[in-house]
């Protein structure tokens, strides 16, 4: 190995007792490839096995905790006990390759396709649709329903424990339900679940508390709880960096094992508030300090990209699209073969990359999403 990249392969402890063999993480990426009944497919298992050998930790694609939270065609479920064997199969496949297995849990809220949820009933914090043509107007959740969904996050955590996962990541990013409650764009409530910034925090923090409670009750071994968030929204009103710093402070008090920033570009700069035009990741890292580890992500393709990102002081670096493009990325760096890393998708290599058909179709039909697809 080139000594320049040695820091990427230093071990790291999450929490008190979960040991990661290196600083590299597979980021959660939707793959659209599960069975209609919510079980994982053989193609998904092959896809994860191929990418679990090098990284220290794999965070799965999101799984829905409630039937009306299913956000994607071909998404695997975590909302019923009869899905535990499916979840166990996925956890076992990842762990067998030497990586820690983290299940990302979520509810899609107003972002769900109506045809995927019971009776086409799209719900959110308020009746504000997402921006864009043809977006459904969601129904505001009642207080009883809100409390039920909070319970569902705890139940899905229990299922993750029973399935053998090493932890869960609470998905509070990318415009889904937890973010919808935190956002002044999507949350126009005037009860305990909305209004002021502090009240908009009530739902995400209640979910964190419920997940932690489930871990305390059911986990016999150390079990990781992380939280993913998007630092800003383009809408006005919308989440600003200043809002996110308040969220970070609230999450840092909850004894979480990590915070995961959702960014398309690791070095992207703040839009408004909290030192605009400074990289968001630096603002976040400064605010977090040593209270909780941060995972950084976003357009990291080469070994030089990864080491530069690590030098910001962020202790863990997640690879997303790059691990789809080159499943052996980690091994190539470890073996001193970083010049052999592939950074553009080859349209002829689906089979040798073990990419399931539904994911492959999205990749090649989404110009600009992956390098190499024009």
Determine the Cα–Cα distance for residues 244 and 312; give it in Å rounded to an integer.
Answer: 19
Is residue 220 exposed (0-12), middle (13-18) or buried (19+ Cβ within 10 Å)?
exposed
Helix (DSSP H) and strand (DSSP E) numbers for the chain: 12, 12
Q: Which residue has the tokens 């914090």?
A: 125
Comparing CA positions, the residue from 66, 230, 250 lying closest to residue 146 is 66
> Which active-site residues does the annotation give?
176
Q: How far apart are CA 23 and CA 29, in angstroms?
A: 19
* Residue 160 φ then ψ, to 5°: -60, -40
Cis peptide before 237 (omega within 30 of 0): yes
| Contact (Cβ atoms closer than 8 angstroms) between residue 205 and residue 198 | no
Short-list 57, 54, 69, 56, CA closest to 28: 57
- Which residues on adjacent β-strands are paired with residue 18? 14
Can you give the length of the chain in residues? 374
DSSP β-ladder status, 123-124 and 100-106: unpaired
User: What distance in Å separates the CA atoms of residue 70 and residue 176, rounded to the nearest whole number?
Assistant: 11
> Nearest-5° angle of CA 74, CA 141, CA 28?
35
Angle at 341 between CA 337 and CA 347, to 5 degrees: 150
- C-alpha distance from residue 323 to each of 42, 49, 119, 126, 183 (Å): 19, 12, 37, 37, 31
């Amino acid at each position: 190995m080139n000594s320049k990249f040695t820091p990427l392969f230093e071990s790291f402890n999450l929490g008190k007792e979960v040991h990661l063999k290196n600083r590299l993480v597979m980021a959660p990426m939707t793959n659209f490839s599960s069975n209609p009944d919510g079980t994982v497919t053989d193609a998904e298992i092959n896809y994860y096995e191929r990418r679990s050998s090098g990284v220290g930790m794999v965070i799965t694609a999101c799984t829905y905790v409630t039937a009306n939270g299913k956000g994607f065609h071909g998404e695997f479920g975590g909302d019923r006990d009869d899905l535990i064997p499916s979840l166990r199969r996925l956890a076992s496949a990842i762990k067998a390759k030497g990586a820690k297995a983290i299940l990302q849990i979520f509810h899609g809220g107003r972002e769900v396709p109506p045809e995927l949820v019971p009776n086409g009933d799209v719900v959110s914090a308020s009746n504000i649709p997402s921006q864009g043509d043809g977006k459904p107007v969601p129904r505001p959740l009642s207080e009883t329903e809100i409390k039920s969904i909070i319970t569902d996050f705890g139940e899905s955590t229990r299922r993750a424990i029973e399935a053998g996962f090493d932890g869960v990541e609470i998905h509070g990013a990318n415009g889904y339900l937890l973010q919808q409650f935190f956002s002044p764009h999507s949350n126009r409530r005037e009860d305990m679940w909305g209004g002021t910034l502090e009240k908009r925090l009530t739902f995400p923090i209640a979910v964190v508390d419920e997940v932690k409670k489930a871990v305390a009750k059911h986990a016999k071994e150390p079990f990781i709880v992380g939280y993913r968030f998007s630092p800003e929204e383009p809408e006005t009103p919308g989440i600003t960096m200043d809002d996110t710093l308040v969220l970070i402070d609230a999450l840092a008090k909850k004894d979480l094992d990590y915070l995961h920033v959702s960014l398309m570009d690791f070095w992207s700069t703040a839009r408004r508030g909290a030192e605009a035009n400074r990289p968001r990741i630096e603002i976040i890292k400064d605010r977090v300090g040593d209270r909780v580890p941060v995972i950084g992500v976003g357009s990291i393709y080469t070994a030089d990209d990864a080491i530069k990102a690590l030098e910001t002081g962020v202790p863990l670096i997640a690879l997303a699209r790059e691990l789809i493009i080159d499943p052996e990325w980690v091994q190539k760096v470890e073996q001193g073969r970083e010049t052999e890393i592939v950074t553009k998708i080859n349209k002829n290599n689906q089979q040798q990359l073990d990419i399931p058909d539904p994911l492959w179709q999205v990749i090649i039909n989404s110009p600009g999403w992956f390098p190499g697809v024009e």
